[in-house]
Amino acid sequence: MRIAVSGFLAATVLSLSAPTLAADPAAQKAELHKMCEAALATLYKEKPAAKAEVAKSAGYGCFSSFGISFFVGGAGGRGLVHDNATKKDYYMNMAQASGGLDFGIKDYREVLVFKDKATLTKFVESGWEFGGGGQATAAAGGKGAKAEKTEVSTAPIEVYPMTKTGLAIGVAAAGRKYWKDDDLNK
């Protein structure tokens, strides 16, 4: 039974995880920039001090993801990483797998703040982030109670998760992979 649930979960996440983007690369980039601007605006509204942190950082990343979990979970999405020094944007994909006492479904945004250039470069080139955390989330249409914590082993990166819609509770070990989108980075 658990294997069947895990297989169904994996198939569902793969079919629903990545936000739907336009077919044209220029339109996809525009949609990712719009998502990032909205994520930063939400972050700055909820945590005004983050605006100065982002401004003085080496750069930042914004990701939009959708995930499902029932003991075993997965999430996927897309985003961009902006280098503050060079003003260059890197378009990226994201996937996550988790396991533990974790139950829920959610659509969320995540802002990553890179505190130094070496970390930003390593993230863009190799993209790995490993972590685990606990969460209790209930939100609908961007409104609701949110209490999330993300542990990141690829320090120094500050992670700000923001649930847009969903319900989730639990503690899980998770592994994430971020990688450059070859088609959009041409």
Question: Could you tell me if residue 143 is inside a domain?
Answer: yes
Residues of the chain with pLDDT > 70, as a percent, come to 56
Please compute the mean of the pLDDT values over residues 34-59 and round it to a whole number: 95
Rg (CA), the chain: 16
Please tell me the pTM assigned to this model: 0.72
Residue 77 has pLDDT above 70, yes or no: yes
Please give the single-letter amino acid code of residue 21. Answer: L
Question: Could you tell me if residue 186 is inside a domain?
Answer: no
Computed over every residue of the chain, the mean pLDDT equals 74
Q: What are phi and psi of 50, to 5 degrees?
A: -65, -25
Residue 18 has pLDDT above 50, yes or no: no
Residues of the chain with pLDDT > 90, as a percent, come to 39
Higher-pLDDT residue of 67, 177: 177
- Domains of the chain: total: 1
Residue 66 has pLDDT above 60, yes or no: yes
Joined tokens for residue 31:
């949609």
Q: Which domain holds residue 160?
A: 2-180
Nearest C-alpha neighbor of 79 from the set 140, 15, 124, 137: 124
**What would the pLDDT profile of 118-169 be if each residue is shown by its tens digit?**
999 999 998 766 555 544 444 444 444 343 434 444 468 888 888 765 444 5
pLDDT for the residue 177: 83
Question: Could you tell me if residue 185 is inside a domain?
Answer: no
Residue 27 has pLDDT above 70, yes or no: yes
Concatenated DSSP letters of 146-174: EEE----SS-SEEEEEEEEEEEEEEEEEE
Question: Could you tell me if residue 92 is inside a domain?
Answer: yes
Question: Could you tell me if residue 56 is inside a domain?
Answer: yes
For residues 122-135, one letter each, b for 16 or more C-beta atoms within 10 angstroms of the residue's C-beta and e for the rest, the string is ebbeebebebbbbb
